[in-house]
Amino acid sequence: MKIIEDLESTVNHERSGANIVILSAACCIPSLAGFDKQAEQIVGKAITETGIEAEVKIVPVTTAIFGGGVPKKVMGELMAMFNQGKIAAPAVLINGEIVSYGVPTLEIMKEALSQFKEKNQNE
């Protein structure tokens, strides 16, 4: 698993691997940092178990709000949940598509990565 520095390349990709974003709310609510770590570990394990090439970036919500490369639709959904008192973070995206609001299960991540692989083999 490679952690990348260039956020724009995470969403606006032109490579064959999956570009995974873990959208973190720990910048606003520090006690959520442990959930980010759990999500990162599960994502890493799913990448290892599926053998799919992927790059992972943890993006603070504050960065994403101000144009940090996360689709506006996802940010709108996340903000709506926050406004309803629901904490839907971390959110996990693969190539800009939401996979999970909250810490994903290993099974969800493996399924999402497998679907990514199938989709890219057909293109």
Residue ranges covered by each domain of the chain = 2-121
Which pLDDT value is given to residue 8?
Answer: 46
Q: Residue 105 CA to chain centroid, in angstroms?
A: 13
- Fold that domain 2-121 belongs to in CATH: Glutaredoxin (3.40.30)
Q: What is the mean pLDDT of residues 80-85?
A: 81
For residue 122, give both structure tokens.
């057909």
- Segment 102-108 mean pLDDT: 95
Tokens of 17: 């691997």
Question: Which tokens sit at 74?
Answer: 């996802």
Mean pLDDT of 6-18: 53
Region 47-53: what's the mean pLDDT?
Answer: 94
pLDDT at 123: 61
Percent of the chain with pLDDT over 70: 85
54-60 and 2-3 as β-strands: parallel, antiparallel, unpaired? parallel
Cα-to-chain-centroid distance, residue 71? 12
CA atoms 63, 112, 1, 102: torsion sign: positive
Band (pLDDT 50/70/90 cuts) for residue 5 is: very low
Q: Which residues pair with 101 in a beta bridge?
A: 91
Tracing tokens 């609001």 back to the chain, one arrives at: 101
List b or e across 35-53, with b for residues whose CB sees 16 or more CB atoms inside 10 angstroms: bbbebbebbbebbeebebe
pLDDT tops 80 at residue 67: no
Higher pLDDT, 73 or 112: 112
